[in-house]
Amino acid sequence: MSYRSRAANAAIAAIIASLAVAAVVCGALLLRPGSSAADAGHAGSSGASDSGSLDSGSLDSGTVSSEARAGERDEERFGGNGEVLDPDGIRVDADHPGVRGLDPELRAAVQAAAERAAAEGIELRLNSGWRSAAYQDELLAQAVSDYGSEAEARHWVDTPERSAHVRGEAVDIGGLEAALWVGQYGAEFGLCQIYANENWHFELAPIDADGFCPRAYDSAAARPE
C-alpha cells in the first residue's frame, strides 16, 4: 500500500472516530434526566427553552383553577357560600350551608353545647360556620378596606388557605352572653376559644388533663402555618 493510500485511510479512520465520539456525546445529552432533543439541538442558542416543561405561570394558573373548581363544588354541595344574613344568627341545627358544611364532629359538639345552654336559659346561635373560599376572600378584602392594610386585617380575618371556617372547623357564636357561656363551659364539649381577640370564635381542640383548653393565640395572624 502506498504512503498516500495509508494517509488517506488514516484520515478516513480519524473522521469515522470523530463521528463516533460525536454520536456518543449526543446520545448522552439525549439520555440525561430532564433533557430533550431541543437541548441537544439548541444547547448554545440564546433564549432556547425546554418545550417539555411547564413555566411557573402555567403551574400557578392550574393550581388556582383547581382551587376555584373545588370551591365551586363545595358551594354546590352545601347550597351556598355560608353567609349568614340574619343579624341574630342561625340556629345550630339550621338547614343552612354554614351548618351543613361543618365538620360532623364539630357540629355535634356545638349542638350538644347548645342543648346544655338551652337548659340554662341561653340560646346558642351562629353568626358564622362553614364558609366557601370565595366568601372568605370577600371578607378578607372587606377587612383590608376597613383596616387599611392586609397586615392589620389578618388579625381579624384569615386567608382562605388558612381559615378554619373554610375547612368547616370553626364557628362564631352570636351574642356576648352566649359567647361567654361557651368560653366558660365549652371545654366540656371540646370547644375552645382559639383567638384571644375573638371571644366568639370556637374550634375543637385537645383538652388537657385538668379540663382546660390550649392557650389562645393573640390573633389569627399569630397562628402558625
Per-residue pLDDT in tens (0 to 9) along the chain, 225 residues: 433 444 444 444 444 445 544 443 334 444 444 433 333 333 333 333 333 333 333 334 445 445 556 667 889 999 999 999 999 999 999 999 999 999 999 999 999 999 999 999 999 999 999 999 999 999 999 999 999 999 999 999 999 999 999 999 999 999 999 999 999 999 999 999 999 999 999 999 999 999 999 999 999 999 998
Whether 31 and 101 share a structural domain: no
Asked if residue 46 is part of any domain, the answer here is no
- Which residues have a Cβ under 8 Å from the Cβ of 192 and sit 6 or more positions away? 186, 202, 203, 204, 205, 207, 213, 214, 216
Domain shared by 33 and 85, yes or no: no
Cα–Cα distance between 17 and 5 in angstroms, integer?
Answer: 18
How far from 194 is each of 13, 62, 102, 119, CA to CA, in Å?
80, 33, 17, 25
The CA distance from 206 to 173, in Å, is 20
- pLDDT score for 69: 63
Does residue 11 belong to any structural domain of this protein?
A: yes
Both 87 and 27 in a single domain? no
**pLDDT, position 72:** 79
Distance CA 198, CA 178 (A): 13
Q: Is residue 71 part of a domain?
A: no
With both helix axes pointing from N to C terminus, report the angle between 176-185 and 104-119 in degrees, rounded to the nearest 10.
110
Residue 65 lies in a domain: no
Range of the domain at 117: 80-222
Instruction: Assess if residue 127 is contained within a domain.
Output: yes
- Helices and strands in the chain: count of H runs, count of E runs: 8, 5
Eight-class DSSP state of 217: B
CA angle 182, 195, 144 (to 5 degrees): 125
Measure CA 3 to chain center: 78
Q: Is 155 inside any structural domain?
A: yes
Q: Is residue 62 part of a domain?
A: no
Residue 75: half-sphere exposure toward Cβ, Cα within 13 Å: 14
Q: How far apart are CA 149 and CA 141, in angstroms?
A: 10
User: How many C-beta atoms surround the C-beta of residue 165 within 10 A?
Assistant: 27
Looking at the 3D structure of the chain, how many domains does it have?
Answer: 2
DSSP 105: H
pTM of the model: 0.70
- Asked whether residue 206 is assigned to any structural domain, the reply reads yes
